[in-house]
Amino acid sequence: MTHQKLTMAQALNHALRDAMRADDTVLMFGEDVGALGGVFRITDGLTAEFGEDRCFDTPLAESGIVGMAVGLAMNGMRPVVEMQFDAFGYPAFEQVVSHVAKMRNRTRGKVTLPMVIRMPYAGGIGGVEHHCDSSESYYAHTPGLTVVAPATVADAYTLLRKAIEFPDPVIFMEPKKLYWAKEEVDLTTEQPGIGKAVVRREGRDATLIAYGPSVPIALEAADAAAAEGRQLQVVDLRSIVPFDDEKVCAAVRSTGRAVVVAEASGFASVSSEIVARVTERCFHSLAAPIRRVTGFDIPYPPPKLERHQLPGVDRILDAVDDLQWEDS
């Protein structure tokens, strides 16, 4: 038993360290991940422990970083790369969509790419333009990519370890506003793997479906609802692709009502996909159409206006109120 109080940033750092200790083909590289330890300190101390060949800074070019990772993975390495911020992953989009996602399929499984693209993402930190994008839908829309977003400290550790061990490329979305969230954790506890959603809170009246940065807000909303006598269940997706239809649908069937909570803009997004597939599968169990609480369909706002973009407890409770309750 090794209980310790860790931030999500520290848990991610532990995951990288343990993965690098366990397998010396695991390499970590990107911008400022060496001496600085990453702008969020996720790679703190890795160069010191594993040396320049295992954790290193590259020239400043995201397409180069991801493209080189493809080659390294083709030749026996397990690269983990960091895109410094969500929006700075865009110069690598060509590599991600045209090669990272397609190599296995192109070569009928002869060339596989076990690699992880770590991406601090989403808002809530008062960042200026290009520092707060929720870009998960671009990746989730791209067949061949596995997309994961932890919401808890324990999951940050587990999911990153499993992503590094995964046989295919994983886009690992780190909700940067949760980096400093602290939790008492035991990293040796086995957690569900990639592709598995979990119920974070039981409740019989309605289901909140969330992932990444929206999970703590959903839990907060459930607390507030409980105070008003409504028991909300909270499902944390953890894995966007593969999507856990079974767990999510079972949860929704158990309550008959659902609200999807996501920070990203709602139009043509992961949240729209969730509504569509759950509706297709659970239509006859639903007492009301599934509602969504998402970011508006606008570029992420400047710091002074960002609070308007973030799903908050009140918006979630309003959406829950709208779920056609006979008694009200």
Partner 1 sequence: MTTVEERLLPSAEPVQLIDEHGARHDNPQYGMPAADALVDGYAQLVVGRRINDQAGALVRQGRLAVYPSSHGQEACQVAATMVLREQDWLFPTYRDTVSIISRGVDPIETLTLLRGDWHSGYDPHERNVAPQSTPLATQLVHAVGVAHAARLKGEDTVVMALCGDGATSEGDFHEALNFAAVFKAPVVFFIQNNEYAISVPLARQTVAPSLAHKGIGYGVPGERADGNDLAGLLAVLGQAVDKARAGEGPQLVEAHTYRVQAHTNADDASRYRDDEEVTPWLERDPIKRLDAYLTEQGLLEEAHRAEATAAADKIAADLRDGLMQDVSPDPAELFQHLYAVQTPQLKEQAAFLQDEIAREEA
Ligand X SMILES: Cc1ncc(C[n+]2csc(CCOP(=O)(O)OP(=O)(O)O)c2C)c(N)n1
Q: Select 72 or 197, whichever has its Cβ closest to partner 1.
A: 72
303 binds, among ligand X, partner 1, none (CB under 5 to 8 A by kind): partner 1
The answer to the question of residue 263 lying near ligand X (CB under 6 A) is no
From 127, 124, 153, select the one nearest 13 (Cα to Cα): 153
- Nearest approach, Cβ of residue 302 and partner 1 (Å): 5
- Nearest approach, Cβ of residue 50 and partner 1 (Å): 18
Class of residue 39 by CB neighbours under 10 A (exposed 0-12, middle 13-18, buried 19+)? middle
The answer to the question of residue 180 lying near partner 1 (CB under 8 A) is no
Distance set, CA 42 to CA 39, 144, 150, 160, 228 (Å): 8, 26, 15, 12, 40
Residues 5, 130, 182, 204: which binds partner 1 (CB under 8 A)?
Answer: 130
Contact present, 178 and 236 (Cβ < 8 Å): no
Does the active-site annotation cover 131?
Answer: yes
The answer to the question of residue 60 lying near ligand X (CB under 6 A) is yes
* Helix ranges restricted to H, the chain: 8-22, 46-50, 62-74, 93-95, 103-106, 136-140, 153-165, 215-227, 245-255, 270-282, 313-321
- Nearest approach, Cβ of residue 41 and ligand X (Å): 15
For residue 280, the SS3 value is: helix
Stretch 14-53: interaction string toward ligand X, x if CB under 6 A:
-----------------x----------------------
Active-site positions?
131
**Interaction site with partner 1 (CB under 8 A):** 31-32, 34-37, 39, 57-64, 87-88, 90-91, 126-130, 267, 296-299, 301-305, 308-309, 314-315
